[in-house]
Each structure stands twice: as structure tokens, then as C-alpha cells.
A and B are shown apart, each in its own frame.
Chain A
């Protein structure tokens, strides 16, 4: 199931935790746990940091909704080497 999730993420694209949960037939909670596992095992890495630092200095920061909570995962070289 982890491999299935990794394959899904390897294709890129936008997902919500709910959409991934639906595809895998598990709860959102499980998806979160699997993502954490994949990160811990070195197959996924979170790309980029928190929005706060990036939005500092932007005049629209106070009113901007661009920085809605989101996470971007990139597959690590380790995952790529495994053919994902």
C-alpha cells in the first residue's frame, strides 16, 4: 500500500488527504501516517518551508489567501532510484 501511495505521488499532481484516502480505501488518518512513514524512511521529502517566512515583506501578505495550508512532497533520489 505504501508503494501504491508512493507511485501516486510520483506522478505529481494535486491531492487532498481525503482524495488520497479515497483512492487507497483507508482513512485520512492512515494517509497522514503513511506519508509520515514514507518521509521517515527517506522516500519523500517535504519541499519548501513554511509560508510565513516567504510572505514576509510581501505587501499583500496581510490580505493574501495564496498561502493556504499545503504541503508539497518531492520524491527523494532514493525513491527515484527504486523506479518510482
Chain B
């Protein structure tokens, strides 16, 4: 820096000969040439400024030995030849790219009389970072603040005078594309050339590193080749600049290098403080000079996000949204389901029985009880699912789901997961299969495994459909509270299991999660329609295949070998499990229903319908079931139902996604034990308190 100041001070005498007052020549004595370098980031209008200044007086070549274009030109003003070199556009002055090296080497070796940094006023901070590096080089700088019109259009208020005062160097506002400010720029360049640099405000580094820098300057003093400034070389070495470090290594004696190397190794992370100091400087420089759009210009998305991503209000919004989803689904969906059950399934089964009265018993049994009563019954849940999928699709399309994940993050953290895991888990409310698959988006392997392991604890629509049918039968008007309680229980168990697995099995790791929140937009009916269609068809395919087969098999097992349910194979299996059922007061039919739910959750109802022979008896389940179970047993049964091992499709997906039978088996065993433990616990608690017995 010292070298440069001396050079700058020596300049006015030369300049005085040709343009004494700087604003224009008084009596030009002879041609005077000053050299100006144009620097700046790409796309800030640097070339426009260059072309405006040089016009046809320009020459395009290459930098010696490099493929990078070198543009030079001359601007004649008031008898002064301003020789302008357009340096390559760069974002910073590390040695990382050819352009960066050309720029800094030119300034150091060629020592231009003035460096004009062209900056985009619309992204001032980013541009000032480059300036913070240029200011460490030995050259007086003028800041050409280009595109001030664009900044204005964007609502940014840039105050060139305030910026000038803060920086301690001349700032010239410009709109190069409209030829505005060019004359002022030239005048300023001439003035700076004549007057030399003023008290420029350079970025500082932290106190502790300042001492290290001084130590380094001492160590390399006398060995730095001309024309490199010693303090700049020391700073670059501390930054970890390979090029400069290598240069110095070749020049220092082994003993000196040993000492330097020790200092550099000890302060390996100094770059954080140095670059951090530059960012801090940029912030300080722009604090007063730059005003960002005021509240009035904040977009609708920003306003909505103030609430939806707020740590407290955001959570209430999320709870409200979840509540609304289930309320809509059940309020509209359940009556339609009941209607379809009564007039399609029950009436259909009755019609088949009548129509096939003359056929063998097993044909009408198979069709009425097995196919219609089983798989057909499950299809009546379609309206519930369509509504759920439609609301979910709308929320996704509006852009809310990303906010939900953001808000949920702090809770997911307790499990060592982050908000990203919430997205697949939320899909689990629709179906656990996409939840397990969706875990692919979780990047860390441990977090992905944990997400997959807890995914089956999200109550899916199939489980909730079973609850939606059975809860009103057992609990009447209180069914909605029971349903809510079951959802809350599932999620509480999910949290406990997640935390336990995180602490005990998987161990923690921290990742930060930076989300782009999409702008809110009007939902598109087509997108939502597509989403509902795809998801619903998936369900219909399941009902037409797996559930249909299971219904028929369950029916067959329930009548074989003697045509009686009580003496059937299924009854034998169910009775084998009845000791477990007895602990929560449920009979063998319920245990069989649970078992068949492994194939598909909806089978619980299909199986109960088949087993209790209600296919043709009107709303039979509603009459028969309460006679079989006390409210306490019914509650315990529902608890087991929602926590039970997931359906076969989910288990198969878990195997596929984890690639491990061990973790799949672990999950199945865990959920089997957990579901019965909680179910039995609920029943025993009810017995103790005397509720519902």
C-alpha cells in the first residue's frame, strides 16, 4: 500500500502539465496518457461502459498466453488520452479462475492509474464484496454505480452520496445503457488521478487475526518480490491462496518457510475471519446507503408466510389445517360412505342372494359375503379417500406443504429428523406406502431409516377408514373425539418411538436444511384432479386385487370345512390367538380381523362383515358388534388397529427402501409388540378405573 501511495502522490506533477484543474484543461501542453482498468462482475454493464468510453478506438486481443479476451481502447477527453483496459468479469479475486488471476495480476503488475469498478446497483452487496478485495490492491478506485434505474424499479433505494461517505471513495451513479453518468465518470477518474486516493475505508479483519497477519508480514519481509505489496501477500497466504503461497515458498529459506508454514497451519481457518470480515464490511457499507422495499411492497406470499412460518402461529395454522382436512373428510365423506354401504353393498348383497336363491349355497355366499361384503364394502370408502386426496392435493398445489414441513422442523428435531422428513410422513396420512417411498428425499441415511421406521405409525386413510366405520358403531356421538384421540395417540407413539430410536439405536447427526418456499399460487384444478385420480386409482386397484382376494380367502376359510363359521379354519386360527385377545376383552373374530388387516387395513371391516355374516342383513355390523365388545374392549381394539403392523404393501416397500430384512423385521416386531402393549394397557386402565366395562 505504501508503494502505491507514493506512486499516487507523484502523479499530480505529471498531470499538472496537461490538465491542471482536473475539470478540464487550461492550457494543454502536450498529450497526457493515463491508464484506467475497468473491473466488475459479469453482467453489470462493464462492456457497455467500455464501449461508450472508447467507441471505435478499441482493440480486441487475447491476454498473453491465455484464451481470455483482452479489450483495450482509448477515450480522449480534454486533451487527455485515457487508456482503458477492460479486465475480465470476476466475482472475486481469489486465484480460483483464470479471470480472477488476470484481474489481480494486472492491477499488481501494471499498476493502472485508476481502477474503475463497475457495480450493479440492483445487487449492490454482492458487488461490494468484489470491491472489498480490490481495495486491498495498490490502486485508487472509483465506483461506477451502474443500473441505478433497475434498482429503482425494484424498489431499492441506493444513496450514492451516503455510500461515497461510507466507502471513502468516489461513487458515480450511472445508467450506462442510456448513456447517463459517463461524463461524470470521466471527470471523477481525472480528479482521482490528479488528487490521489483519499481515506478509503477498507475491510478489517478480527483483532486476533490482525496480530497473526502482522507476524506473517514480519516473517516474509524482504522476501516478497516486486511489485507485490507485502501486506497483501501476507493476507493472501493467510487466506490459503495457493498461487501466492507457492510463490513465497520458492522465495523463502527452508527455515523461514518452516516458521511461516507453522503459522499458516495454526490459523488454517483464518479465511473464515477474513472473508467474514469482508461480509461484515459490506453490511456496514450498505447499512445506511441501501434501503430495501418497505412493508407496502412486501408480496402477498411474504405476508401469508409471516403467519404460516411463524414458530407459534405457524403451528396453530398447521393444526387448524390438519383439523380441517379430517373434518372435511369425515363430515362429507362418512355420510356418503354410509349411504353407499346401505344402498349399494347391503342392497346389492341382498339382490345377489335373491337372484341366486336356486344356485349352490357357496356361490351366493362367495358373491354376497365374500366379494360384495368384503371388497365391495371397502370400495365404499372411496368418497372419503377422494376428499382427503383432493384437500391434500390442493394444499400441495397452493404451496402450503413446504411451509408445513418448515414449521414441523423443530418437532422433528427431537427425533433427530428435520422438517424434510415431515413431508413423506404427512403423505402417510394418505397411505403409508408413499410415505416409506417418500423417505428417499431424506438425504442422510440415518434420518432416512428413522423416517421409514416411524412412517407406519402415521394413521393412513385405510386405518382411519376402519376407525371411521367402527368408532360410530361403538361410541355414537363421541366417535369424533375417539377418532381424534386415536390420531393423537398414534402421533404421540410416533414421537416417543422416534426419540427412543434416535437416542438408542441410530445416534444423532445434525444437518441444516435450507428450503426454498415456493410462492403461493391459485390451485390448479387439473393438477389437483390428476393427483386425486392417480392416488384414487391406486386404491381402486388395491381393492380390485389384494382386498378382493383376501375377502374371498377369508370367506372361504370362514366356511371351510363344514360350511359353518364357528367350526371353520379361521375360527381355529382366531381361537389360537384368543388368549392375547382375552387380555383386552376381545373375541377371536376380532383377532382374525386384525390378522387379515396385515394384507390390507380395510380388510378388518371386510373380515368382520364376512365373519359376522352381515352381508345381507342391513346395517348388521352396527347391531352385532356392540353386543360382542364392551366400550373398553372396543377402544383397546381400535388402539391396536391403528398401531398394528402396517399392511403387506408397506412392509414390502420398507424392505425395498431399506434394503434390509433385518430392519423390516425389526419394524414389524416392534409394531406388533407396541400395538398390543398399548391396547392391553388401555383396556387394563379402563378396568382399573371402571370405565366402559
The answer, yes or no, to whether B309 is at the interface (CB within 8 Å) is yes
Q: Bound complex: CA of A60 vs CA of B273, how far in Å?
A: 46
- The reply to whether the CB of B198 lies closer than 8 angstroms to some CB of chain A is no
Of B275, B440, B442, B516, the residue contacting A17 (CB under 8 A) is B516
Are A58 and B437 closer than 8 Å at their CB atoms?
yes
Question: Of A4, A43, A74, which contacts B444 at CB under 8 A?
Answer: A74
A13–B311 alpha-carbon span in the complex (Å) = 12
Q: Which residue of B lies closest to A34 (CB)?
A: B279
Most buried by B among A19, A33, A34, A63: A63
Identity of the chain A residue whose Cβ is nearest the Cβ of B274 in the assembled complex: A2
Shortest Cβ distance from B313 into chain A, in angstroms?
15
Q: Is the CB of A70 within 8 A of B513?
A: yes
Kindly identify, within residues 57 to 71 of chain A, every residue whose CB is under 8 Å from any CB belonging to chain B. 58-60, 62-71
Q: Cα distance A29–B534 when bound, in Å?
A: 39
A63 adjacent to B514 (CB under 8 Å): no
Taking a contact as CB atoms under 8 Å apart, the answer to whether B513 and A27 are in contact is no
A23 within 8 Å of B (CB atoms)? no
Contact B440 A72 (CB under 8 A): no
- Which parts of A26-84 form the interface with B (CB within 8 Å)? 26-27, 29-30, 33-35, 37, 40-41, 43, 47-48, 51, 54-55, 58-60, 62-75, 82
Within 8 A of A (CB), among B397-421: 397, 401-402, 405-406, 409-410, 413, 418-420
Within the assembled complex, what's the spacing in Å between the Cα atoms of A58 and B396? 17
The interface residues of chain A lying within 8 Å CB-to-CB of B413 are 12-13
Which residues of chain B from 111 to 148 have a CB within 8 Å of any chain A CB?
A: 123, 125-126, 129
Complex Cα spacing A24 to B435, Å: 35
Does B211 make an interface contact (CB < 8 A)? no
B512 touches A68 (CB 8 A): no
Contact for A74 among B271, B276, B283, B511, CB less than 8 A: B511
A13 to B514, CA, bound (A): 8
CB nearest neighbor in B for A14: B409
Complex Cα spacing A29 to B405, Å: 24
Cβ contact of B518, chosen from A33, A34, A64, A68, cutoff 8 A: A68
Q: Is B31 an interface residue (CB 8 A)?
A: no
- CB–CB A63/B512 < 8 A: no
Contact of B438 among A25, A40, A60, A74 (CB under 8 A): A60
Residues of A within 8 A of B540 (CB): none
User: For residue A26, which residues in chain B have a CB less than 8 angstroms away from its CB?
Assistant: 125, 279, 282-283
Minimal Cβ-Cβ distance residue in A for B280: A1
0/1 per residue, B665-683, Cβ < 8 Å to A? 0000000000000000000
Which B residues are CB-close (under 8 A) to A55? 440-441
The proximity string for B residues 143-170 relative to A, scoring 1 for CB distances below 8 Å and 0 otherwise, is: 0000000000000000000000000000
* Partner pick for B272 among A6, A8, A15, A75, CB 8 A cutoff: A6
Closest A-chain residue to B408, C-beta based? A14
Contact B283 A17 (CB under 8 A): no
Q: Complex formed: what's the CA distance from A65 to B309 in Å?
A: 18
Secondary structure at chain B's binding surface: helix, strand, loop or mixed?
A: helix
Contact A60 B437 (CB under 8 A): yes
Chain B: interface size category: 35 or more
Task: Tell yes or no: B423 within 8 A of A by CB.
Answer: yes
Q: Is B510 an interface residue (CB 8 A)?
A: yes
Q: What CA separation (Å) do A63 and B401 show in the bound complex?
A: 13
Nearest CB in chain A: distance from B628 CB, A = 38
Q: How many residues of A contact B (CB 8 A)?
A: 54
CA distance A15 to B410 in the complex (A): 11
Q: Which residues does chain B contribute within 8 Å of A1, judged by CB atoms?
A: 276-277, 279-280, 283
Complexed CA–CA distance, A66 and B269 (Å): 37
- In the complex, which residue of chain A has the Cβ closest to the Cβ of B393? A63
Complex Cα distance A51/B441, Å? 6
Option from B423, B437, B511, B531 in Cβ contact (under 8 Å) with A73? B511
- Contact residue among B276, B434, B512 (Cβ-Cβ distance under 8 Å from A3): B276
The distance in angstroms between the C-alpha atoms of A9 and B272, with both chains bound, is: 15
Are A73 and B292 interface neighbours, CB within 8 A? no
**A41–B126 CB distance below 8 A:** no
Say whether, besides A1-B279, A47-B443, A51-B441, A72 and B514 are in contact (CB < 8 Å). Answer: yes
Q: Which residue of A lies closest to B124 (CB)?
A: A27
Q: Does residue B535 face the partner (Cβ distance < 8 Å to A)? A: yes
Bound Cα distance A84, B268 (Å): 15
With A26-B283, A29-B126, A60-B534 in contact, do A10 and B510 touch (Cβ < 8 Å)?
yes
Report the Cα distance A54→B419, complex, angstroms: 18
- Name the residue on A nearest B287 (C-beta): A25
* A4 / chain B contacts, CB cutoff of 8 Å: 276
CB distance B420 to A30 under 8 Å? no
Q: Are B126 and A33 in contact (CB under 8 A)?
A: yes
Rounded to whole angstroms, the CA-CA distance of A34 and B129 in the bound complex is 11
List residues of chain B with CB within 8 A of the CB of A19.
309
Cβ of A54 and Cβ of B441 under 8 Å apart? yes
Contacts of A3 in B (CB 8 A): 272-273, 276
Query: Does B515 sit within 8 A of A, measured CB to CB?
Result: yes
Q: Establish whether residues B516 and A30, one from each chain, have CB atoms under 8 Å apart when the complex forms.
A: no
Shortest distance between the CB of B214 and any CB in chain A (Å): 21
Closest chain A residue, CB of each to CB of B538: A59
Query: Contacts A6-B272, A54-B440 hold; do A70 and B126 have CB atoms under 8 A apart?
Result: no
**Closest A residue, CB atoms, query B528:** A63
Contacts known (A6-B272, A51-B441, A65-B396); A13 close to B534, Cβ less than 8 A: no
B276-A60 in contact (CB<8A): no
Residues of A within 8 A of B444 (CB): 47-48, 72, 74
**Whole-angstrom distance between the Cβ of B692 and the nearest chain A Cβ:** 40
B517 interfacial by beta-carbon distance below 8 Å: yes
**Contact between chains at B418 and A13 (CB < 8 Å):** yes
A62 to B527, alpha carbons, bound, how many Å? 10
CA of A70 to CA of B273, assembled, Å:
28
Establish whether residues A70 and B420, one from each chain, have CB atoms under 8 Å apart when the complex forms: yes
Q: Can you list 28 residue pairs at the A/B interface with Cβ under 8 Å?
A: A1-B283, A3-B272, A3-B273, A4-B276, A6-B272, A13-B409, A14-B405, A14-B515, A15-B512, A16-B514, A16-B516, A17-B514, A26-B279, A29-B123, A30-B129, A30-B279, A35-B514, A47-B511, A54-B440, A58-B434, A59-B534, A60-B437, A65-B402, A66-B424, A68-B516, A72-B512, A72-B513, A73-B513
